[in-house]
Amino acid sequence: MRQFIYSLFSICLLSHSLLAQVNQNWCGSIEAMEANFKKHPELRHQFESIQNSLNAMSQTNEAGKTAVANYTIPVVFHVLHVNGYENISDAQIQDQMSIFNRDFNLQNADTSVVIAPLKNAIGDAKITFELAKRDPNGNCTSGINRYFDTKTNSWEGDFQDYIYSWDPTMYLNIYVVKNISFGAAGYTYYPGSFGPGDPMDGIVILQNYVGSIGTGNVNQSRALTHEIGHWLNLQHTWGNSNNPNVACGDDQVGDTPDTKGYTSCSSLIGSQICNPGISENYQNYMDYSYCCVMFTKQQCTRMTNALNSSAGARNNLSSSANLAATGITPAAVCAPAALFKSDKQIICLGQTINYTDLSNISAPNNWSWLFEGGTPNTSNAQNPSVTYNTPGTYSVQLISSNTAGSSSPEIKTGYITVLPAPISSSLAEGFETSTLPNSTWMLRNVSTTNTNWQQTNSAFASGNNSAYVSETVSPSSTIDIYSPTYDFSSMPYNALTFKWAGAERDQSSTSGDVFSLFFSTNCGATWVPRFSKTIKSTVAGVSGVVNGNFVPTSNQFQQEVITFGTLSSATNVLFRFRLVTELGSSNNFYLDDINLTTITSINEQFNHALNLSVLPNPSNEQVSVVFDLLEDKVVEITLHDVLGKTVKTIHKQAFTNGNHSISIPVNDISKGIYFVKVNVNNIITSQKIIVD
């Protein structure tokens, strides 16, 4: 039975593990739709009328054939990020574009797995997607925009969040974010949900559901295929509900059989649950299974009808005038925009860095590089290699060009850090005599914000100065301070001590700043965590909640002692202190009295040999248990509740001498206080952790 019920939904291709993580909240479309209708009740009647008209059109046009015309849709991606992994690459987005064009033009080879009863129903939508080449002002563009915006951490989907939208009557807007507050992997709206040109008329998707490379993966790479299906007026295969596996339903499409829907790839090939003798289309892109490989012919007809409808002005997208305005046809002739990356940004003396040209908008055929402090100092190669022989912090510049012109210079200031030669003496740093940075301590703001570590005389553990980060630091910033490099082979059995002071600004914040210590033995190529502290008032050492600017007394500094006996033969040891700030909770943070000394007593060294750390702490995802061994040992790691009951036995195995890090998931246990116990030869060391 065909029955119209308004609403809209999203998200396909979720594996069991992902479903568990989002608590089966696959989409937030119902909430988004209803919230918008409550704010704008006049849209509800308009939406119902448009949907009834489109449904009638699809039923009239159902001839069992796919579209005969080809449609091209200009696309623009808006990537919201805080300089983390959510700032996905151009390559990942371009990979997603290839997946769109494969799926909507029946070029995917995996249709070979479609069950026999539905092979004749496979449809070709004949829809091509292209990244826009001109923006709404007529300027050349890559079709990929990036914005530093903390909304990416918890996207709410309110009207004011869509400030970056380009005219939806000209472009398909796709927002890429880190997290969606209501637990969805993504969502969109049917045609007619808004008036033409409303900035909310687009798609929102999590960064790890874009493409099959980078942070994406093959299993989740068709989520956006599913979302575009909704955007072009396709319902779920079981109809307009977000309740698969509940009741048999219909999706207004004649060649998709009634179904309850699936939340995993069916183990019963050719399932016929709703109507005996009629196999269900669990392999459809609009199902919730993760083996979606097809649209049906009449689904393609329904999408074609949407592209020929004035609802949401979908009919303007593929018009000749719009394709010309967005630079698709004829193709815009543009100069490139210079962009590049390097395989390393921190190196030791004499090492080589490989640069990769990422220039976009249009392909360049000429490159002009300038490498401060490098050999060579200049290059015209597309992807040059440069050696650095002098310690310091250096900038890099690229200008790319083609027959249409030259780009503006892409200049990355302080992009490369070349470490000085390792030293073999102890360290005693109280930040008394030099400003920051200096010949000893190097700084790097990973987030490219204006705030960094600096010297202050307002608070200190001893002496008259300390290093600190001001409370004015931008939220979601990552700022590092690097030590010199050390040759431990001539100074074995070392301990690093330091003092820190921090306070929470707002106890209502769900998170806190995180202060961490890492070490590297390969010139910063890889890092090992050694210490981590979340700056929450409930965490030991943190000086409570201070609503104003935190200025500690000397006795509010907390001292830490970290030993490094397992690095006694390392010839290039580098330390990195990192502060990661979070939205709403940051206050002044201080670091002082950093000392690297040799432990004189071998017994003292063995007493500290385990050097147990559990980080981050608190945590709600997973923790890393980090420990050292001076010789091969059998180690058992267990997790206990406050009553001593064993909650998990993590590991009991032989470990070689050296540093080890073991991950323990904690998202499957209740909130509360627990103890990690490490048993080495019946000597037990424990540390309290908080699961929040």
Q: How would you label 170-198 residue by residue, b for 16+ Cβ within 10 Å and e otherwise?
A: bbbbbbbbbebebebbbbbbbbbbbeeeb
Beta bridge partners of 623: 664
Report whether 188 contacts 286 (CB < 8 A).
no
C-alpha triplet 93, 95, 98: angle, nearest 5°: 115
Name the token pair of 55: 């449904």
Residue 567 has φ and ψ, to the nearest 5°, of -105, 20
Rounded to whole angstroms, how far apart are CA atoms 318 and 325? 11
- 237 DSSP 8-state letter: T
Closest alpha carbon to 65 in 230, 278, 299 = 299
Residues 6+ apart with CB under 8 A from 427: 483, 484, 486, 594, 595, 596
Closest alpha carbon to 401 in 382, 375, 378 = 382
Q: Does the annotation count 227 as an active-site position? A: yes
Q: Which helix (H) or strand (E) holds 486?
A: strand 478-486
Rounded to whole angstroms, how far apart are CA atoms 129 and 327? 13
Beta bridge partners of 432: none
Residues 6+ apart with CB under 8 A from 692: 618, 619, 620, 671
Rounded to whole angstroms, how far apart are CA atoms 121 and 542? 64
Rounded to whole angstroms, how far apart are CA atoms 195 and 627? 59
Point out the catalytic residue in the list 34, 42, 86, 227: 227
**Known catalytic residues?**
227
